A and B are shown apart, each in its own frame.
Chain A
Amino acid sequence: MSGPGVSLEVVDLAKSWGAVDVLQDVNFGIEPGGFLTLLGPSGCGKSTILRLVSGLDEVSGGQILIGGKDVARIPAAERNIGMVFQNYALFPHMTIAENITYGLNVRKVPKAEKEKALARVAELMALGKLLDRKPSQLSGGQQQRVALARVLVSDRPLVLMDEPLSNLDAKLRVEIRSEIRSLNKKLGITVVYVTHDQSEALSMSDRVVLMNAGNVSQVGTPQELYDRPANTFAAAFIGTPPMNLLSPEDVRAPATFAPEGGMEARDVIFGVRPESLSLGRAGAEFSATARVESLEYEGKVFLVHLIAPSGTRFIAAHSGDGAPEEGSEVTVGWSASQTHLFSKTDGNRRDFTL
């Protein structure tokens, strides 16, 4: 099938529309055959990066190295990149077979070779019976598989995917998610995947690039993003529900607690995941008192919505018996190893000593 994937390295990438800078100093990379996800809220520039890498838009600055070669200024068609679009971008007037072989026809691939390639991807994506149909006669999931087939038929070593699952229902999304992941592993192609869904990003990726307003917020493995968020944005974006961010006046820290780097103890933000909080835990290293505002039953756990004296709202995931009563005062505790510390001024992660 596809040859092994290529590496992708983005260096100091920048894009501006007129006077508006939409991307600055974007740096990340992925090894051949890897799965990289660009994650972020809408409007953060992740799709723009994809369009720059594909060559559909022109870069304003920086380099895009594919297999070590800078392609930032060569035409899209010469970059040997495949792309799957959010709403599939199938040609509605062509049959499925014509859609899949469109690129092969453009490149004048001989007929026998073309038919072999078509048969191969049709089998791979289980599209055999649909080849004579028109896209409008297919379900959303089938259309997405055709879009994947159209990319795979050309043996592209690098495939870009722009929110390919966002138009599918929840069940299909999980199905195609694992299908994409297994294609990536089986064929060894490099995948760059754009999504705003953090659970999608965490479950599929080898590396995640978290974007915030045109800047890279954090690059790392899914575990790194979850376990050591680099800043308050990453902390508040990753996890369902995301990390709680508490101000120092709501937190009782040990007397020996001291942030590193000469920061005052009142200039910090404490981060703690909802599942790290335990209700009524006496003698915990860190604790906070709060009123129970409401309860949300999630099956495995209760999500306890709390409101601190300063008015900050936060959430504890309570898995034991005996949910607290609404309106009651509770104490939640957590350990030093579960504590994340951020600077109040720049939002970046800091270390601390006890």
Chain B
Amino acid sequence: MNMRLSYGMGFILLFIPCSLLVAFTHYPALKALLNSFWNNGSSFRPSRFVGLDNYETLLEDDKLMQVLINSFIYAIGTVPLAIALAIGMALLVNSKLPATGLMRLSFFLPTMLPMVAVANIWLFFYAPGIGLASQLLNAVGLPSINFLGSTDTSLVSMMVVAVWKEAGLFMIFYLAALQSIPTNLKDAARLEGAGSVRIFFTVVMPLLRPTTIFVAVNALINAFRLVDHIVVMTRGGPSNSSSLLLYYIYEVTFGFRDFAYGATLTVLMVVILGILAAFQFWVLDRKAHYQ
């Protein structure tokens, strides 16, 4: 096996993936950072270097503040809820109950659907008066709510869609983790007199911790990354009540065609995500047990 690749061939093989990475990841990232220091140019007035002007705008942007608060509520609300639901569903399908195969399929189904399709399904659920949600409310004698049309309910409605969509995927991770826990650990705990709740919190949950960290990181990234349902369902409205950071970036950049400010917001988002990821991996990872 001494067929060594020539340096030329090796260089070509490295060049192809590297150029793709540079063209679509590193160059745009760097360009966004650079753009955030320049103002928005037009055909008759070229853009010029403005230093930190864009960042000053950012600090005074009231709409951004609302979007950040929305994003914060959205993440805090959806991530723990999706995780809790995923663990619950995983425990359910991992149990000895009948029809766990069917349960697995139905829990996982939302994950397989494209987000745009999911959003359209939920548009029908939320439709005022005739939608499933309104009919359920009417059935128990409550007045129907315009879920997407009210500033009080639009963000929560978006969060429900996200949890519904995400929990199934996380369930698969938890199911795999649950099945890798040796049953005799639970047997040993049972013989020591531990009840099933105690076994869950003292034996099962600690052993699921690596999965929880992985899922939490992914869920958090998705909370910032997935805005398809907002585009389809509310367009951030009414009056920005359901707008998230990424949707706001999209709106500023491609709606208002303010590329400089869009780039500035992008830098902000990357910084936020970086801090969150670093926190999760360094702080939570140290407490995790890996076998």
Contact = CB atoms under 8 A, between A and B. Distances in A.
Given A106-B193, A106-B198, A107-B193, A89 B188 contact: yes
A150 B185 CA distance: 13
B187 A89 contact: yes
B44 to A, nearest CB: 66
B194 A87 contact: no
Contact of B191 (A82, A91, A93): A82
A92 interface: yes
A102 B189 contact: yes
Interface string A80-114: 01110111010111000000001100110000000
Interface in A327-345: none
Interface residues of A, number: 23
A89 B184 contact: yes
A56 interface: yes
A83 B193 contact: no
Nearest to A102: B192
A55 B188 CA distance: 11
A76 B186 CA distance: 12
A56 B182 CA distance: 15
Nearest to B199: A106
B192 A91 contact: no
A85 B186 CA distance: 12
Contacts of B209: 93
B207 interface: yes
Contacts of A85: 184, 187-188
Interface string B195-232: 00010001100110100000000000000000000000
A92 B289 contact: yes
Given A91-B185, A92-B291, A93-B289, A76 B207 contact: no
Nearest to B189: A102
Contacts of B193: 77, 103, 106-107
Contact of A77 (B191, B206, B291): B191
A230 B209 CA distance: 54
Contacts of A83: 187-188, 191
B284 to A, nearest CB: 14
B190 interface: yes
A88 B108 CA distance: 35
A86 B183 CA distance: 12
Interface in B263-291: 289, 291
Contacts of A87: 182, 184
B192 A106 contact: yes
B138 to A, nearest CB: 47
Given A87-B184, A93-B207, A76 B291 contact: no
A82 B291 CA distance: 25
A56 B191 contact: yes
B191 A81 contact: yes
B207 to A, nearest CB: 6
A97 to B, nearest CB: 15
A105 to B, nearest CB: 9
Given A77-B192, A92-B289, A56 B198 contact: no
Contacts of B192: 77, 102-103, 106-107, 154
B48 to A, nearest CB: 58
Interface string A49-60: 000001110000
Contacts of B191: 54-56, 76-77, 81-83, 103
A338 B289 CA distance: 60
A93 B193 CA distance: 19
A82 B189 CA distance: 11
Contacts of B184: 85-87, 89
A106 B195 CA distance: 9
Interface of B: 182, 184-185, 187-194, 198, 202-203, 206-207, 209, 289, 291
14 contacts: A55-B191, A56-B187, A56-B190, A77-B191, A82-B191, A89-B184, A89-B187, A92-B291, A93-B206, A93-B209, A93-B289, A102-B194, A103-B191, A136-B291
> Nearest 3 A-B pairs (CB), nearest first?
A103-B192, A93-B289, A77-B193
